[in-house]
Amino acid sequence: MDSFPARCRGHITNFLNQTYILLFAAPFIMGWLTDVNQAFVGISFPMLLPIFGADHPDMVLVMFAYVSGFVGILLSPVHLCLATTLQYFKASLRDVYKIMLAPAALVWAAALLALIVFRVIL
């Protein structure tokens, strides 16, 4: 049987992993569904406020959540620019996603790297 500090460490690690997943998933899904910056911020950020810190928000966590929502907007099939482009150029959504996925992943990876450097390592 594990010692008490080892069990506590496991629970804290599990909580942090779930927190970071929530910081990504809530804004990303809201951005993907609503396709509007103000909407994903207005819907997901109040839910994330206890994680950010109400009095003195942790700007690294806010940045990571915002970038996650912005990437959701970029990949949203209802994004007006994307829908217009698909219709005007008679392009396939699959082909456009092949082009867009790498830059969107790069933007999100940069935010993830900042999160890891400033919240995990330092």
CA 32 to centroid of chain Cα atoms: 10
Q: Is the pLDDT of residue 4 over 80?
A: no
Angular region, 55: left φ>0, alpha ψ -120 to 50, beta rest: alpha
Domains of the chain: total: 1
Q: Which tokens is 32 given?
A: 């993907």
- Structural domain harbouring 105: 4-121
Which pTM was predicted? 0.85
Integer Cα distance of 65 and 87 in angstroms = 31
Mutual angle of helices 4-34 and 37-52, in 10-degree steps: 170
35, 80 Cβ separation under 8 angstroms: yes
Residue type at position 51: I
The per-residue pLDDT for range 19-52, each reduced to its tens digit, is 889 999 999 999 999 999 999 999 999 999 999 9
The per-residue pLDDT for range 44-103, each reduced to its tens digit, is 999 999 999 989 999 999 999 999 999 999 999 999 989 999 999 999 999 999 999 999
Please tell me the total number of residues recorded for the chain in this structure: 122
Q: What is the pLDDT of residue 15?
A: 55
Mean pLDDT of the chain: 89
